[in-house]
Amino acid sequence: MKDTLKTYSPIDNSLYVERAFAKEDEIQLALERALSAKKNWAATPLTERERYCTAAVDALVAKKDEIAKEICWQMGRPIRYASGEINGLEERARYMIAAARDALDPISLPEKTGFIRYIKREPLGLTLVIAPWNYPYLTAVNAIIPAIMAGNVVLLKHSAQTPLVAERFDQAFREANFPQGVFQYLHLTHSDTEKILRDSSINYIAFTGSVAGGAMIERATAGRFLSIGLELGGKDPAYVRYDADIDNAVDTLMDGAFFNSGQSCCGIERIYVHKSVYEHFVNKAVALVKQYKLGRPDDPETTLGPLVRPSSVAFVRAQIEEALAQGAIAHIDSRDFVMDQPGSAYMAPQILTQVNHKMRIMTEETFGPVVGIMAVGSDEEAIALMNDSEYGLTAAVFTQDITQGVAIGEQLHTGTFFINRCDYLDPALAWTGVKNSGRGCTLSAIGYDVLTRPKSYHLKTINRERNLP
């Protein structure tokens, strides 16, 4: 068994972080501290929780530039974009802090003579957050801040690719003077993570990752009847109608497909374009993508960084090569991108046409800088193809007819529907998925429902005058 966690930077494959994995006694101590803290934290007034959480967010924002460099080196995000992660964290965290005021209020019922009735929302207890590397702060904050605001205590297990994120959260909560045990993190092996999943002290699990990872969590917790939130990825589609603003569609969809080197659970992985504008769309998309600069992410001029590791490149290339063998056409010459070298984590972007749903590139999550584009003849054909997937996280339609766009959206099997945008989380809206994209919900006022349990109060008043002689 490995004794240390080692993070190799995709920039140059150098060892960037090394940490000891938590030992058994450290794991037990963390669980004991959480159990000791949860009663007092649940009783802490909401205004106090808000003060603590706001201070922690302030502490993270104050270190935005340092954090951006760490994101760049840990997972390869171009430095020109890396600080945007903390901007997004701030937006989501501050929204959810404010939303808690109404979302956690008791529910009062209409007056009923002789009775007082209301419903309170009680915290679940200890929340285990398992977060991924691709948007390491955004995915984590979706669960951490709402869980703590709801009166839960949190234990964070972050990806081995981004361990400094867990440490930055911990530092921020310490600077905010959080009570001991309310927030903790552990660097864990896979086997120790599974042990914690089965521990009776865990009351809720928030997981973002692969379908296989979600299945492992369900197996490990079977029979405990735990509440589990799972965000498991997608193969998100977009449809460009004949009446779309093509310039906006190209700019938005290419960014949605290639930002973060395509390593986004809600990134655009397949595009359907009405045949009347198909050629125009493809030509503009190819011209735009050819302008990307693939390079070291610590170079401010770089617009497309490496994938997280060389094995990810091999997986994406296998999908592309298989599609080409089945008749797909590639529009980008990788030789034009000098950093695209065999065995490295750097990979040129790619646009494929003449694709179909017999190809993995259009059905299996790719998580890399490639997108397939198909021509369609009607809205009905586009809807059928967009729904032909085991995933359902987001879907987008580009059109100037909002009414018709909404009518299409109502027929799509998806958690979030966009018109004329994509690949974005609005914290006021519920973030959820259908099918293999997961279950549960984060963000919005609804996100607090999964972090609390309802407790009903049914009080009968007694008129003492009736008992007098």
Number of domains in the chain: 2
Is 39 found in the same domain as 178? yes
| Residue 31 lies inside a defined structural domain of this protein | yes
Is 227 found in the same domain as 197? yes
Is 128 found in the same domain as 70? yes
Is 124 found in the same domain as 66? yes
| Residue 256 lies inside a defined structural domain of this protein | yes
CA distances (Å), 102 to each of 41, 249, 254, 449, in order? 19, 37, 38, 12
Does 231 qualify as catalytic in the annotation? yes
Phi, psi of 368 (to 5 degrees): -160, 180
Is 212 found in the same domain as 254? no
Are 418 and 396 within 8 A, CB to CB? yes
Are 147 and 154 within 8 A, CB to CB? yes
Maximal CA-CA distance, the chain: 100
Tell me the two tokens of residue 241.
């109608």
Nearest C-alpha neighbor of 141 from the set 206, 72, 229: 206
Give me the pLDDT at residue 244, please.
Answer: 98
Tell me the two tokens of residue 109.
């019922």
Give me the pLDDT at residue 28, please.
Answer: 98
| Residue 432 lies inside a defined structural domain of this protein | no
Is 303 found in the same domain as 164? no
Is 19 found in the same domain as 126? yes
**Rounded CA gap, 346 and 313, in Å?**
7
Give me the pLDDT at residue 2, please.
Answer: 75
Give me the pLDDT at residue 465, please.
Answer: 53
| Residue 469 lies inside a defined structural domain of this protein | no
CATH number at 113 reads: 3.40.605.10
Give me the pLDDT at residue 467, please.
Answer: 47
Q: How far is Cα of residue 273 from the mean position of the Cα atoms in its chain? A: 27
Is 336 found in the same domain as 216? no
CATH number at 304 reads: 3.40.309.10
The one catalytic residue among 85, 231, 269, 365: 231
Is 165 found in the same domain as 27? yes
Is 300 found in the same domain as 210? no
Is 245 found in the same domain as 202? no
pLDDT tens, the chain, 469 aa long: 578 999 999 999 999 999 999 999 999 999 999 999 999 999 999 999 999 999 999 999 999 999 999 999 999 999 999 999 999 999 999 999 999 999 999 999 998 999 999 999 999 999 999 999 999 999 999 999 999 999 999 999 999 999 999 999 999 999 999 999 999 999 999 999 999 999 999 999 999 999 999 999 999 999 999 999 999 989 999 999 999 999 999 999 999 999 999 999 999 999 999 999 999 999 999 999 999 999 999 999 999 999 999 999 999 999 999 999 999 999 999 999 999 999 999 999 999 999 999 999 999 999 999 999 999 999 999 999 999 999 999 999 999 999 999 999 999 999 999 999 999 999 999 999 999 999 999 999 999 999 999 999 999 998 765 544 4
| Residue 325 lies inside a defined structural domain of this protein | yes
Residue 274: domain span = 236-419
| Residue 220 lies inside a defined structural domain of this protein | yes
Give me the pLDDT at residue 1, please.
Answer: 53
Q: In DSSP terms, which residues pair with 206 in a beta bridge?
A: 129, 229
Are 351 and 286 within 8 A, CB to CB? yes
Neighbours of 336 (CB within 10 A): 11
Provide the edge-to-edge strand list for the sheet that holds 329-330: 329-330, 350-353, 370-376, 268-274, 236-240, 394-398, 416-419
Is 176 found in the same domain as 151? yes
| Residue 467 lies inside a defined structural domain of this protein | no
| Residue 426 lies inside a defined structural domain of this protein | no
